[in-house]
């Protein structure tokens, strides 16, 4: 195999598929990326067997088609470090040489025959979702899943697609995030699967500029997703997802309207005075007033008491919550992403953004500049959210618009 291609394009592609390479594995070949050159296109593949990514680079000068399996970490490092606009690859058997102006690298790879097969996407079974809708639902729900392996079904996001509606639900059993979108041309038979959040984040990575839709194919135990540039497969989470609609309490008699930015600001202030071990903020409601109260009894002891102007006409009422659950949600409402348990996801997203910026700048892509990529879609933060409460043992229901619902179970604790 022999080809030459643009460094920036290759660097971006390697960055994308590298996020599917397992950090630790008992199957050494999985720490490699498979590179195939044919028909003017490079195809890069990586997998940890649970999920996998395939990503293409176009407009490649191929002198001799073929395939190679190269160590992912070294390859990634090399294509990021070099400053040349173009690189040349020459692979003979397992031996690969990467040539640039005034130097070369030699790498030893593995036999392409030994690399796991990548499942083919069946276009006939495709279910299509709008890119913005998909990103928005992932952002609104994936942060809420459980990181507790013993609650296996809750470690994934429930993904439901019907004829005219798509939904995602994430919950760890203590709070629940539920987002939905109106769609057109969905499947006649409902799709209902549980997807690991990492797979959803990988789908976001293969979205290329100009993509409007993502095609999904659902099978018994796995999901595939396809964009103009890449394909993903991921094993689904098995198990039964709890009945999330049943736990949304009806008939709240206490309805609060509040500005999300103001609530987030005041909650953060109060949170500084919670105990490390049992984080709790007491919400004290009275006519048009919400008082947030926290007390710290261990270590640097103290109290915090902060008021938020709200619209409230119900009876005086007190209830305590873990403020972190609220802050996660309020971050999303403000257009951000809460910290996800999989911290890897964030750094990889950044790597991609950087690569993308390089690509946009074309030939003179300078490694030293690392401009932040603009957010995929601007989010308009609503000026009001509603918080519905019933009693001290029932979940609080927060709504931001009609299509985003968030439940938080209270704490029963003395603050």
Partner 1 sequence: MSRETASADKPLTILHVDMDAFYAAVEVRDHPELRGKPVIVGGPSRSRGVVSSATYEARKFGVRSAMPSAQAARLCPQGVFMPVRMERYLEVSREVMRIFRSFTPLVEPLSLDEAFLDVAGAERLFGDGPAIGRKIKERIRAELGLVASVGVSYVKYLAKLASDLEKPDGFVIIRPEDVERRLPPLPISRLWGVGPKTESRLQALGLRTIGDVRAAGEERLVRELGDFGAHISRLARGEDDRHVEPSWDAKSIGAERTFERDLSALASMERELLEIAEDVGSRLRAEAVAARTVQIKVRFHDFRTITRSRTLERPTDITREIFDVARDLLQEKAGVKGARVRLLGIQGQNLAPPGTGQGTLFGEKSRAKERRLDKVIDALRHKMGHDAVVRARTREESR
By residue count, the chain amounts to: 415
State yes or no: residue 113 binds partner 1 (CB under 8 A): no
Distance from the first to the final alpha carbon of the chain = 68
Question: Which one of the spans 93-101, 199-207, 211-219, 406-414 is the region binding partner 1 (CB under 8 A)?
Answer: 406-414
Site string for partner 1, 376-395 (x = CB under 8 A): -----------------x-x
22 or 242, CB closer to partner 1? 242
Interaction between residue 407 and partner 1 (CB under 8 A): yes
Does 298 participate in binding partner 1 (rule CB under 8 A)? Answer: no
| β-bridge partners, 289 | 286, 309
The set of residues, in sequence order, having a beta carbon less than 8 Å from that of 357 and lying 6+ positions away, is 365, 369, 370, 371, 373
Q: Does 299 bind partner 1 (CB under 8 A)?
A: no
Where helices occur in 173-274 by DSSP H, the ranges are 197-205, 260-271
The sign of the torsion formed by the CA atoms of 59, 60, 64, 65 equals: negative
Task: Give me the least distance between CB of 154 and partner 1, in Å please.
Answer: 9
The answer to the question of residue 171 lying near partner 1 (CB under 8 A) is yes
Binding segment for partner 1 among 7-15, 130-138, 353-361, 403-411 (CB under 8 A)? 403-411
Q: Does 98 bind partner 1 (CB under 8 A)?
A: no
Determine if 399 is a binding residue for partner 1 (CB under 8 A): no
* 66 near partner 1, rule: CB under 8 A: no
Q: Is residue 11 within 8 Å of 19, Cβ to Cβ?
A: no
| Dist CA 15 CA 379 (whole Å) | 27
How many residues bind partner 1, per CB under 8 A?
A: 18
Determine if 324 is a binding residue for partner 1 (CB under 8 A).
no
CB-based contact 12:354 (threshold 8 Å)? no
Look-up: residue for tokens 């009693």? 391
Cβ distance 186 to 166 under 8 Å?
Answer: yes
Residue 176 binding partner 1, by CB under 8 A:
yes
144 part of the interface to partner 1, by CB under 8 A: no
* Residue 393 · residue 412 · CB < 8 Å: yes
Choice from 5, 87, 411, 415 touching partner 1 (CB under 8 A) = 411
Q: Which of 33, 281, 322, 365 binds partner 1 (CB under 8 A)?
A: 322
Query: Is the distance from CB of 399 to CB of 386 less than 8 angstroms?
Result: yes
Q: Which stretch binds partner 1 (CB under 8 A): 67-75, 118-126, 174-182, 206-214?
A: 174-182
Minimum separation from the CB atom of position 388 to partner 1 (A) = 15
**Alpha-carbon distance 219 to 213, whole Å?**
20
Using CB under 8 A, list all residues that contact partner 1: 150, 171, 173-176, 242, 247, 278, 322, 393, 395, 407, 409-413
């Amino acid at each position: 195999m022999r080809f030459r291609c643009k460094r920036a394009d290759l660097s971006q592609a390697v960055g994308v598929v590298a996020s599917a390479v397992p950090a630790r594995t008992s199957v050494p070949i999985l720490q490699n990326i498979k590179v195939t050159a044919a028909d003017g296109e490079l195809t890069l593949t990586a997998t940890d067997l649970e999920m996998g990514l395939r990503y293409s680079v176009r407009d490649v000068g191929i002198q001799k088609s073929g395939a190679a399996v190269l160590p992912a970490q070294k390859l990634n490092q090399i294509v990021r470090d070099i400053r040349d606009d173009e690189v040349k690859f020459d692979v003979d058997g397992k031996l690969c040489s990467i040539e640039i102006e005034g130097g070369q690298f030699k790498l030893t790879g593995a036999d392409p025959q030994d690399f796991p097969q990548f499942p083919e996407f069946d276009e006939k079974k495709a279910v299509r979702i709008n890119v913005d809708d998909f990103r928005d639902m992932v952002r609104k729900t994936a942060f809420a899943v459980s990181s507790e392996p013993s609650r296996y079904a809750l470690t994934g996001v429930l993904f439901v697609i019907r004829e005219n509606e798509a939904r995602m639900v994430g919950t760890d059993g203590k709070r629940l995030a539920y987002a939905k979108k109106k769609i057109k041309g969905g499947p006649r038979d409902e799709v209902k699967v549980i997807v690991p959040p990492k797979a959803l984040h990988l789908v976001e990575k293969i979205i290329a500029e100009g993509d409007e839709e993502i095609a999904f194919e659902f099978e018994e135990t796995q999901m595939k997703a396809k964009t103009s540039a890449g394909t993903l497969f991921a094993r689904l989470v098995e198990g039964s997802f709890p009945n999330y609609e049943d736990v949304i309490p009806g008939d709240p008699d206490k309805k609060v309207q509040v500005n999300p930015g103001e609530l987030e600001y005041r909650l953060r202030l109060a949170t500084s005075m919670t105990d490390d071990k049992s984080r709790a903020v007491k919400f004290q409601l009275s006519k048009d007033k919400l008082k947030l109260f926290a007390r710290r009894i261990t270590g640097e002891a103290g109290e915090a008491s902060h008021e938020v102007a709200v619209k409230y006409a119900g009876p005086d009422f007190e209830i305590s919550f873990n403020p972190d659950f609220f802050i996660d949600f309020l971050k999303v409402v403000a257009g951000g992403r809460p910290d996800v348990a999989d911290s890897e996801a964030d750094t990889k997203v950044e790597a991609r953004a950087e690569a993308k910026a390089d690509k946009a700048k074309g030939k003179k892509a300078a490694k030293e500049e690392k401009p932040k990529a603009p957010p995929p879609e601007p989010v308009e933060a609503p000026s009001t959210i509603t918080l519905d409460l019933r009693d001290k043992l029932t979940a609080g229901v927060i709504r931001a618009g009609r299509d985003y619902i968030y439940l938080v179970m209270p704490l029963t604790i003395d603050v």
